[in-house]
């Protein structure tokens, strides 16, 4: 981008209890030992039932449609819009944009929205600072990334960002679509421009790492963007297709921050970028299986494998996608390609998107096992995954 009700607690308790394999298994073993009273028998392999698979237990609380809804994040206009889409379709996340009524966060109306969700709701925003700031009126102004480098050291930036991240958390935000780790020397007012910390990868890494640590320490998820690198792109994906330098050139510049920070705990947002040597013609990165595979495996750009969450950039308001396909087609294409979460900026098409995704699973275009894996990644990112 330019982002438990009582029933749920009860269900979660059931899942975690079933996963623990604790007291019930132990008592069965002890009972068997007491009955035989034999040292030889006590050394025999236990015939107690194996603990329930944690992942299967967690996933069993969802219908297929609810699983698919966990993989969507949509922009909302305000509390009523948000509560309606959460209550009716149980989507996994909402996005707070510049068009969203400020009272959603300012007056804590978000609490009622969260209460409508049967699983923890992800509340996202893109609060980078500078010209990409949605809640400056709530948490104060922040310099752009490029200006930050001129006025703060990385550790000073960490302290500054930690205070802002705690404020975001206090207003109900759970995920910030930041930092921008694009490496760019573009003019300040260009699409990336001053949203980039620097045209030097090591500087980007130092400040992005400070931002990720600050968000993590405040309990807010972070999302690095825009993979595999928008900093030297040919244009603005909001208005049309963007072509990056060839993959070989990205290796020594644009991909360096991702390579270095891939184990930081941050999720990754994939941009709508045409990448020579990587993407197929007219298949931008956000819907490209080759890009998702590059990110997952890591070997193609010298990084560790990535099993965190992959978000798309906005699929519904950026011409690099909308000029090529409908929102229903784009969401399906992104998830089939390997993204975990499809992002767009309105609630209008949620029902039609879910209808199409259900058809995609039933037809085999979108494998059910792939959906399950994404649901589990989302749960881990939210901090709600089951533990054994």
Catalytic site positions: 238, 313
Report yes or no: 173 and 124 within 8 Å, Cβ to Cβ.
yes
Question: For residues 203 and 181, what is the distance between their CA atoms, to the nearest angstrom?
Answer: 10
Instruction: Classify each residue of 330-339 as buried b or exposed e, where b means 16 or more C-beta atoms within 10 Å of its C-beta.
Output: bbbbbbbbbb
Report yes or no: 196 and 183 within 8 Å, Cβ to Cβ.
yes
Question: For residues 77 and 353, what is the distance between their CA atoms, to the nearest angstrom?
Answer: 19
**Residue 340, class by beta-carbon neighbours within 10 Å (0-12 exposed, 13-18 middle, 19+ buried)?**
buried
Angle at 218 between CA 194 and CA 168, to 5 degrees: 60
Reported as half-sphere exposure (CB side, CA atoms, 13 A), residue 146 has a value of 20
Question: For residues 142 and 31, what is the distance between their CA atoms, to the nearest angstrom?
Answer: 64
C-alpha distances (whole Å) from 330 to each of 42, 69, 71, 158, 355 are 59, 15, 13, 36, 14
DSSP 8-class letter at 99: T
Angle at 79 between CA 74 and CA 84, to 5 degrees: 65
């Amino acid at each position: 981008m330019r982002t438990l009700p009582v029933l749920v607690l009860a269900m979660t308790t059931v899942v975690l209890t079933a996963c623990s394999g604790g007291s019930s298994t132990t008592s069965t073993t002890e009972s068997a030992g007491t009955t035989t009273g034999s040292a030889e028998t006590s050394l025999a392999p236990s015939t107690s039932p194996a603990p329930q698979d944690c992942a299967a237990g967690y996933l069993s609380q969802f219908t297929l449609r609810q699983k698919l809804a966990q993989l969507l994040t949509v922009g909302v206009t305000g509390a009523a819009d948000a509560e309606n889409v959460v209550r009716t379709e149980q989507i996994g996340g909402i996005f707070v944009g510049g068009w969203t009524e400020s009272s959603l966060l300012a007056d804590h109306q978000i609490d009622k929205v969260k209460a409508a969700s049967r699983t923890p709701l992800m509340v996202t925003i893109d609060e980078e600072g500078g010209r990409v700031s949605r809640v400056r009126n709530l948490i104060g102004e922040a310099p752009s990334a490029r200006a930050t480098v001129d006025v703060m050291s990385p550790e000073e930036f960490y302290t500054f960002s930690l205070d802002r991240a705690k404020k975001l958390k206090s207003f109900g935000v759970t995920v910030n679509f930041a930092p921008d780790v694009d490496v760019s020397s573009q003019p300040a007012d260009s699409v990336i421009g001053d949203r980039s910390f620097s045209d030097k990868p090591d500087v980007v890494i130092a400040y992005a790492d400070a931002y990720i640590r600050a968000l993590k320490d405040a309990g807010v998820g972070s999302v690095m963007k825009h993979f595999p690198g928008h900093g030297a792109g040919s244009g603005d994906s909001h208005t049309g297709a963007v072509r990056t330098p060839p993959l070989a050139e990205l290796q020594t510049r644009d991909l360096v921050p991702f390579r270095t920070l891939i184990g930081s705990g941050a999720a990754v947002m994939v941009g709508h970028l045409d990448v020579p040597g990587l993407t197929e013609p007219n298949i931008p990165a956000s819907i490209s299986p080759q890009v998702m595979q590059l990110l997952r495996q890591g070997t193609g750009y010298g990084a560790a494998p990535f099993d965190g969450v992959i978000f798309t950039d906005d699929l519904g308001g950026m011409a690099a996608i909308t000029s090529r396909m409908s929102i229903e087609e784009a969401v399906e294409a992104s998830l089939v390609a390997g993204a975990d979460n499809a992002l767009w900026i309105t609630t209008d098409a949620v029902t039609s998107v879910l209808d199409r995704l259900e058809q995609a699973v039933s037809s085999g275009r979108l494998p059910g096992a792939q959906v399950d894996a994404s649901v589990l990644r989302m749960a881990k990112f939210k901090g709600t995954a089951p533990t054994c």
